[in-house]
Amino acid sequence: MNTDLKNNDVQHYMQTLGQQARAASRAMAKADTATKNKALLAIARAIRGEAASLRAANELDLVAAKNAGMEAAMLDRLSLSEKAIETMALGLEQIAALPDPIGEISNMKYRPSGIQVGQMRVPLGVIGIIYEARPNVTVDAAGLCIKSGNATILRGGSEAIHCNRALAALVKQGLQEAGLPEQAVQVVDTTDRAAVGALITMPQYVDVIVPRGGKGLIERLMREATVPMIKHLDGICHVYIDDRADLEKAIAIGFNAKCHRYGTCNTMETLLVAERVADQILPLLAVEYLKEQVQLRCDSTAYAILQDYPYLARADENDWSTEYLAPILAVKVVGDMDEAIAHINQYSSKHTEAIITEDYSRAMAFLREVDSASVMVNASTRFADGFEYGLGAEIGISNDKLHARGPVGLEGLTSLKYVVFGHGEVRA
């Protein structure tokens, strides 16, 4: 009985947040660029000014998380160092400096009827963001939503609740200073998991959900959500070294794509090498991978070529669809580019793939035929990133095809509506 009541309370609480967000979104859509920037800069100032109390709030979270046995990597993400606080403030200032996407009118053309038709960029409305215990996401996401004229409901990992509460208060203060509704950014102030279930099933109040979290979370949302999502699944990225690859580029990129950082979604997880050059290239690459003690999980052909490599293993079927996020690489020798593309389209998570080749026609065919969010020629997969692409900021990377694909910046938080300038025209 008690559980039901509690669940009803959470439902009611989330409905209230939803209604308030919807109302605030109307004011945000009207807000001009200067006002939105004023709020962003005020929040940055408040964060710097309240660094000490933010760290105190964070300490409460950290102590509780340590007692609960949180892993070191997650503790690191939860921790708000002085540097992390400064980075959050700088991030807001960078968002303030970006061009305002809202109100831009494009493709305005006269039609034979006499009307002029074009499209205007407008906010999506209310954006729900679900993320892990990373307090910096609270501020980044709030900043991007404010700049793009949206209201947002933020649901961060419960382990960061003290810290998120403190940040929410500073965001509200900044919004108020700029004369914007403080309910434009609301942090869900309950650790009850039912709050997530409510947030993803109220399309009347929430226009899109951006989940930033593990595969388990996203798979749950995919089953339960009735609100559309811009979702980020895993990154099983491939590099294919063609038999017409430039050797130097192949080795530099093959090494960089795997070893620049292991834990990122744009890191290469499977290397495909053309049969005709495998004998030559794999041993040279192995010299590089050895420096980082990368384990190579090879198909039988690659295994035979690399038999003296100290960290060698045989790949099984699972390796082709595993996101290692570690110094481990699956290696497969393929007959030609078509076989590489077939492998990629079967096993890739459609995040980022690259071909290394000097052959023009193959480069063009690879770009066209590989069905992934980012497709590259002679560049490291590690470039698949909102900052590297020039988006200025990034709310996430979308593995979806609808609406936004690949790195999602401010524009991904907007929509286009049609606008018509008439002069009294009627339909004949």
Positions in the binding site for a second copy (CB under 8 A): 26, 29-30, 103, 109, 111, 113, 115, 117, 120, 122, 124-125, 203, 207-208, 222-223, 226, 228, 246, 248-249, 252-253, 255-257, 260, 345, 354, 367-369, 371-380, 382-384, 388-390, 400-403, 405-407, 415-427
Output 120 or 328, the one with its CB closest to a second copy. 120
Output 90 or 367, the one with its CB closest to a second copy. 367
CA distance linking residue 221 with residue 355, whole number of Å: 33
The tokens of 345 are what?
Answer: 């389209």
Output 179 or 422, the one with its CB closest to a second copy. 422
Q: How far is the CB of 25 from a second copy (least distance, A)?
A: 9
Identify the sign of the CA torsion 80, 83, 86, 90.
Answer: negative
The tokens of 30 are what?
Answer: 């009207």
Amino acid in the structure at residue 134: R
Output 69 or 390, the one with its CB closest to a second copy. 390
Output 29 or 284, the one with its CB closest to a second copy. 29
DSSP-based three-state secondary structure for 143: helix
Q: How far is the CB of 385 from a second copy (least distance, A)?
A: 9
CA distance linking residue 167 with residue 171, whole number of Å: 6
The tokens of 337 are what?
Answer: 């580019």
Q: How far is the CB of 164 from a second copy (least distance, A)?
A: 27
Q: How far is the CB of 261 from a second copy (least distance, A)?
A: 8
Q: How far is the CB of 321 from a second copy (least distance, A)?
A: 14
The tokens of 315 are what?
Answer: 């790949």
CA distance linking residue 400 with residue 221, whole number of Å: 14
Task: Kindly write down the DSSP assignment for every residue of 241-263, as one continuous string.
Answer: E-TT--HHHHHHHHHHHHHS-SS
CA distance linking residue 283 with residue 271, whole number of Å: 13
Output 120 or 312, the one with its CB closest to a second copy. 120
Q: How far is the CB of 96 from a second copy (least distance, A)?
A: 21
